[in-house]
Amino acid sequence: MIQARRSHGTHLLIDLWGARHLEDADRIRETMINAALRAGAKLLHVHLHKFEPHGGVTGVALLAESHISIHTWPESSYAALDVFMCGSAEPERTIPIIKATFTPRQTIVLQAIRGTDGGGSSMIETASFAHCDGLRTGPTTAQARG
């Protein structure tokens, strides 16, 4: 995790391609709970909604440190997750839990350091997550401030 400067939190945007179990709301709920606990976050509430006819699931786990959200498209074997955490929680620790549940063919993670004390807007930065298949990179801090 990048912590070169003070911020209000780390936001991971996670894309899963070739994923499984995307229509299983119970498994998704369990995964969100386990991921939050693994990251050291305090779980407040989980709410999921299952859509028909394809069975996609949208859900959010509210955390004292922010949230984990998921949107699934079983018909495309695709899921999009947001993991946003502040304080001492470690959002990158959610990645192995997520990958173990959905067994994606490809995982892409974007990391945004939110609310930095640099006075600029939020920036996308690169990070190294050994358990990911790929990492999309955005502008460097200097490029973002441009």
Known catalytic residues? 66, 71, 86
Distance CA 38, CA 97 (A): 8
CA dihedral sign of residues 138, 90, 69, 99: positive
Task: Indicate the residue type of 12.
Answer: L
Distance CA 105, CA 77 (A): 10
Distance CA 117, CA 107 (A): 30
Cis omega (within 30 of 0) on the bond before 53?
A: yes
Tell which residue, 83, 77, 33, has the closest CA to residue 56: 77
